[in-house]
Amino acid sequence: MTSPAVVWPEPAGRASRGLLELLDEDMSRRRRISIAPGRVNLLGGHTDYNDGFVLPVAVDRYVSCAFAEGVEHTEHTERTGPKGKALEFVSLDFGDRFMLDITDIDRYRESADAFERLTGGPKNRWRRYVAGVVIEMEAAGSSIPTGLGVIAGDVPLGSGLSSSAALEAAVYLALNNGGATPEAALLCQRAENRWVGVPCGVMDQFTSFMAEAGKALFLDCRDLTWRNIPLPAGTAVTVIDSGVQRELADGEYLKRRQEIETSLTILRKVTGPLESLRDLSPEVFEEVEDILPEPLRSRVQHVVDANARVREGVTRLVLEESEGFGELMVDCHLSLAHLYEVSTSELDLIVERSLTVDGVFGARLTGAGFGGCCVVFHREGCEGPLRERVEKGLESEFGRRPTVHHLHSADGAGVYPIEDQI
């Protein structure tokens, strides 16, 4: 989003109206709104936390935070400290609100009990993301303003489109009132790692901040160098939600992370220093793979192949070879399903049925897997047959209808003044 003249998405309108309804008649205080997109990953998959390569695209589903700076809070003063030193957030989607004392952030950081009381336990999970960003901003030396923030979004939850990163980016920009930067992405990643307990890589946050419309973001997750690669003309992306919910903090995701660490420990005995699987070439792996027992060998094989696949995918996009790019997506799905074992029967069926539609170049599960969504890369104009084919297949096999999102690529997050007429 490169200009304040953008047409605001629906969540931004809801958040700004919600904020104005909660404010008193004094409209002189500084007000602004942040808009942060979700993302879908076209190639890669469990490569980000291995210091590898990814190729996501931001999509036009958003989380927005409308913020009024300097709002004084006269209620709950015993809990929130001196008058005017509180920061309050309201979630329109969850019908929930909470307040934290910005004069005593150390208490939340140092006391697990204080943090749990603040965030209200598992049922109010959104609070953990928000509070984590605030705590990490304070630790990084940012000046945290007092005020009131109202949050609204339309990124589907638990579906692999990274609603969490969009939430983190929206809160960060609303409080910081500055530009999107790689450093901001790293801060939001730390917030999710430390305060939500999700050991995610930086891809989601980086994409939400730094993407450009009409382009895929080729990111080196080790040094955070990136290029925005134009998508071929006449192509489109559809995301199909299987309806199978998943949580990144659940055991299977953590188990994959542990399997990678165990594999590295074994591999270092014969390869020498190996910082991450990013440093393991296909040629070297072929020579040493026999020292790994299953399923560790398969896990490493997936990551090594996936990194090479992303690099080749960039070349395919540059050459506008949509069919070749789609073949790489299918290879990625098969690897995630059989080597990394993070697919489900529903996701496999969506990919299978999508590939029978004329005009579809490729399809794969996206996100961490274990449920959630598939992304389909296709020619513009075949959205109707694609929807019909997948809906019939999933309903016939599993008795449920998927949610189909025909999406457009989007610019990364931005923050803008709120105009009174909104």
The verdict on 40 and 124 lying in the same domain is yes
Has residue 282 been placed in a domain?
yes
Residue with tokens 């598939």: 374
The verdict on 44 and 158 lying in the same domain is yes
Residues known to be catalytic: 204
Has residue 72 been placed in a domain?
yes
The verdict on 225 and 244 lying in the same domain is no
Total number of domains constituting the chain: 2
The verdict on 128 and 78 lying in the same domain is yes
The verdict on 270 and 147 lying in the same domain is no
Residue 195 pLDDT class (50, 70, 90 cuts): very high
Has residue 4 been placed in a domain?
no
User: Distance between the two ends of the chain, CA-based, in angstroms?
Assistant: 18
Question: Residue 80 pLDDT more than 70?
Answer: no
The verdict on 346 and 390 lying in the same domain is yes
Has residue 419 been placed in a domain?
no
**pLDDT, mean over the chain:** 91
Give me the domain span that covers residue 252: 235-407
Query: pTM of the full predicted structure?
Result: 0.89
The verdict on 239 and 359 lying in the same domain is yes
Has residue 270 been placed in a domain?
yes
- Note the pLDDT of residue 79: 45
The verdict on 271 and 362 lying in the same domain is yes
- Report the pLDDT averaged over residues 261-265: 97
The verdict on 153 and 168 lying in the same domain is yes
Max avg pLDDT among 3-17, 69-83, 258-272 = 258-272
Angstrom distances, CA of residue 120 to CA of 102, 127, 149: 18, 8, 18
Are residues 98 and 132 in contact, defined by beta-carbon separation less than 8 angstroms?
no
Question: Residue 227 pLDDT more than 60?
Answer: yes
CATH code of the domain in which 210 resides:
3.30.230.10
Question: Residue 339 pLDDT more than 60?
Answer: yes
Question: Residue 282 pLDDT more than 70?
Answer: yes
Looking at 229, 253, 271, which one is the last position of a domain?
A: 229
The verdict on 225 and 239 lying in the same domain is no
- Note the pLDDT of residue 251: 80
Question: Residue 276 pLDDT more than 80?
Answer: yes
- Note the pLDDT of residue 77: 40
Looking at 190, 210, 229, which one is the last position of a domain?
A: 229
- Report the pLDDT averaged over residues 198-207: 90
69-78, 86-95, 116-125: least confident range? 69-78
- Note the pLDDT of residue 275: 94
- Note the pLDDT of residue 8: 81
Has residue 100 been placed in a domain?
yes
Looking at 188, 209, 229, which one is the last position of a domain?
A: 229
CA distance 199 to 185: 14
- Report the pLDDT averaged over residues 348-356: 98
The model's pLDDT over 383-421, given as tens digits with 9 standing for 90+, comes to 999 999 999 999 999 999 999 999 999 999 999 988 643
The model's pLDDT over 234-258, given as tens digits with 9 standing for 90+, comes to 999 999 999 887 654 468 888 999 9
- Note the pLDDT of residue 368: 84
CATH code of the domain in which 268 resides:
3.30.70.890
Question: Residue 74 pLDDT more than 70?
Answer: no
- Note the pLDDT of residue 182: 95
The model's pLDDT over 144-159, given as tens digits with 9 standing for 90+, comes to 999 999 999 999 887 7
- Note the pLDDT of residue 249: 44
Question: Residue 166 pLDDT more than 50?
Answer: yes
- Note the pLDDT of residue 22: 87
- Note the pLDDT of residue 245: 77
Has residue 187 been placed in a domain?
yes
The verdict on 267 and 213 lying in the same domain is no
Has residue 264 been placed in a domain?
yes
The verdict on 68 and 126 lying in the same domain is yes
CA distance 38 to 373: 13
